[in-house]
Structure 1
């Protein structure tokens, strides 16, 4: 709502409505508001335009359907999948990341032809730099109040995640992303220690 007001494209109205008040009136979930904050953070940093996001689009995988919270076309021409961690248990969260791995590494399908060999859904949908550096970005969003259960922290997730993924999974917190932006060293790569990296410095999949 602040972005809309600052754009000058909407007539100003009396009074002030906060995101929390809007959520209470419209039934929007805090999860959706966290995704909006993420889109704005990427937009302000110039890492991705706010129009270059798709939300909850189903992707077929050998391990079942994969529905990312968001898919973003980054400024460098590659894509990233964004997950907002608020409600999933560790088991379900890790299972979803396994589906990301299955999607990225699914075998090619179709017959192809002399000009173009068979390609997987990933290759057909995200041709370009994404084929070289695909990764999901996982954001830990804080609870809105102390009345909520204690948030799972990034260290706990990294301790639990012992993956053999062929994708790069990078994590940060929503407050850290909002404060510094995605192009600053706010990302911690699962399996690569404690160092934080900028978006452009995330490694290619092993």
Structure 2
């Protein structure tokens, strides 16, 4: 077991790898210790590997890039930490072959995390590494579920004397590994989640105890939905945004599109400008450019 306090870099490193499932050396450095030399992060990871908590593979097709991931022992240890309750993803990866096969998508999700994390640090907003929770399971009935790539908790810095707004978002990272229509098919699932009321066997709603949507048990407001698009050039991004617009237009009339901001942006745009820049496009009106932290976009 790590003989260090809760705020140590070692503890954070193992927690981040368990929550994110994997990350490159550079990504880990940017997450846990950007103010020191990267050699210190390399030594930290090597020490954790020697203790059996993390391991690594090398991706030859990516310039022999090292990718770190938690061992089964590391995952077991982290699951016992109070700060990780409810944070650990349902599907961790502790096998080198699985890491290699999942690296493309998972490392892109980690890069998206870093775009938000580094932007928050620049602006004094509150978004810590463990405020990005991958693959949170949300049932929508009939054995189906919505599982976004990540759930983001983000608090904007104080403005005009207030304490800052708490924002939540479902993040979907698309690397163009599926067709535009399959990407757009995620919208009906989120609309179902927005209206899904779980049935309680043997009970019916009453005036005193009305039916409540499942998401309200977790969130005071339904999280906004952010699509981050990668893996294609500008034409491919436009095709995907057009598909999302068409998908939104085919949804049955409901409060979903009215109440929930659904935005899309390219990962290249986030990295070049920053997530807080007006690079986001409402899927129902993609000619506009907006801030993701703003109000609903109707």
TM-score bracket, shorter-length normalisation? 0.7 to 0.9
Which of 213, 227, 230 is equivalent to 1:141? 230
Q: 1:199 to 1:102 in 2, by over 3 A?
A: same
Cα distance in 1, alignment partners of residues 239 and 181 from structure 2: 13
Structure 1: gaps (5+ residues): 144-149
The answer to whether 1:200 aligns with 2:274 is: no
Q: Which moved more, 1:42-51 or 1:31-40?
A: 42-51
Of Structure 1 and Structure 2, which has the larger fraction of its residues in helix? 2
Q: Which has the larger radius of gyration?
A: 2
> Given the alignment, which residue of 145, 152, 156 partners 1:72?
152
Quick one: higher RCO (CA 8 Å, sep 6+), 1 or 2? 1
Q: Deviations over 1:168-188 (max 9, x none)?
A: 321101111112221110100
Whether 2:265 is the aligned partner of 1:156: answer no
TM-score in terms of structure 2 length: 0.55
Match of 1:89 in 2: 179
CA contact (8 A) 1:23 1:30 kept: no
Q: CA RMSD for the aligned pairs? A: 3.3
- Give the drift of 1:190: 0.7
Equivalent residues, number: 193
CA contact (8 A) 2:197 2:211 kept: no
Taking structure 1 as the reference length, the TM-score comes to 0.77
For the residues of structure 2 that align with 1:7 and 1:54, how far apart are their CA atoms? 24
Instruction: Please point out which of 70, 86, 102 is paired with 2:192.
Output: 102
> Is 1:44 equivalent to 2:72 in the alignment?
no
The answer as to whether partners of 2:241 and 2:264 remain within 8 angstroms in 1 is no
